[in-house]
Amino acid sequence: MSDAGDGKRTTDASRDEVTPDEAPIDAERGTGRGIPPDWTIRRIVRTMVPLLAALSVLQMVSGTVLETYEEALLENPALLILVPVQIGTAGNLASIMCSRLSTGIHLGTFELSPSNPAVRANVGAVFALAATVFSAVGVAAWGLGRLLGGSLGLADVLTVSLLSGMALAVLVVVMSLLAVQASYRIGLNPDDTTIPIVTNLCDVGGVLILFAVVAVVL
């Protein structure tokens, strides 16, 4: 997310975005250097706020799903517990896979093909991680839900968490492979572009898949 990497330092003449009271502070510290233009408050706010606002609008899609299922969620705390867990885990799996594939594409070890060793290893790992994590999540959400006064059985919670978790793994794999490949083809560095895009889409996908499964299973 950070765009501070270029390390440009401005001369005094170009410090147009800096308020006048900043000069004495620099003089006082004796550093004798200006603030780089991308370190001014205005610049940071102007870059970040539109981006964050757009992402929050995207997140309203999952919010709308949650709001629609409010009754079921309030009745079954186990489902409410699954919400942040699904959102978080989907994002984590996606960022690991994107980050690894981006490195792979730069090193020339990744190629979008089912027989590519990097593709096989990453896909295998994501599915194995998902199976492990979502089994544990199912048991934990069931137990905690019981403690909070819920009545869902272990089989139900485990089915919901495993089914939605494995579907989520498919989403993570497909989106990461496509995003890395597409970004590279277009000429954008996948290190910069894929993680924010894929993690946000997987956040939203996580909630959508969770409630699609809830609707089918319960």
56 vs 189, beta carbon nearer other proteins: 56
Q: For residues 102-141, which are near other proteins according to CB under 8 A?
A: 103-104, 107, 109, 117-118, 120-125, 128-129, 132-133, 136-137, 140-141
The answer to whether 81 contacts other proteins (rule: CB under 8 A) is: yes
Q: Which of 83, 157, 167, 201 binds other proteins (CB under 8 A)?
A: 83
The correct pick among 152, 167, 173, 204 for binding other proteins (CB under 8 A) is: 204
Residue by residue, DSSP assigns 113-179 as STT-HHHHHHHHHHHHHHHHHHHHHHHHHHHHHHHTT----HHHHHHHHHHHHHHHHHHHHHHHHHH
Q: Interface with other proteins includes 44 (CB under 8 A)?
A: yes
DSSP 2: -
Nearer to other proteins, 29 or 186 (CB): 29
Query: Among 2, 11, 113, 115, which residue interacts with other proteins (rule: CB under 8 A)?
Result: 2
Stretch that binds other proteins, among 100-108, 155-163, 164-172, 179-187 (CB under 8 A): 100-108
Applying CB under 8 A, among 27, 49, 155, 217 the residue interacting with other proteins is 49
Written as one letter, the residue type at 196 is: P
Least CB distance to other proteins at residue 127 (A): 8
Question: Residue 193's Cα: distance from chain center in Å?
Answer: 12
CB 216 → other proteins: shortest distance, Å?
Answer: 21
Q: Based on the shown chain and the rule CB under 8 A, indicate whether residue 218 belongs to the binding site for other proteins.
A: no
CA dihedral angle for residue 195, residue 87, residue 213, residue 161, rounded to 10 degrees: 110
Please select the residue that binds other proteins; options are 37, 39, 154, 170, rule is CB under 8 A: 39
Stretch of 148-156, 157-165, 168-176, 184-192 lying at the interface with other proteins (CB under 8 A): 148-156
Give the tokens for residue 137: 């999540």
* Nearer of residues 12 and 70 to other proteins, judged by Cβ: 70
- For residue 18, the 8-state DSSP code is S
Number of residues that bind other proteins (CB under 8 A): 81
Q: Which is nearer to other proteins, 186 or 195 (CB)?
A: 195
Distance CA(93)–CA(202), nearest Å, equals: 9
Q: Which residues fall within 8 angstroms of residue 150, CB to CB, at 6 or more apart?
A: 75, 76, 77, 78
The C-alpha angle with vertex 56 and arms to 196 and 133, in degrees rounded to 5, equals 55
Task: Give the chain's largest Cα–Cα span.
Answer: 69
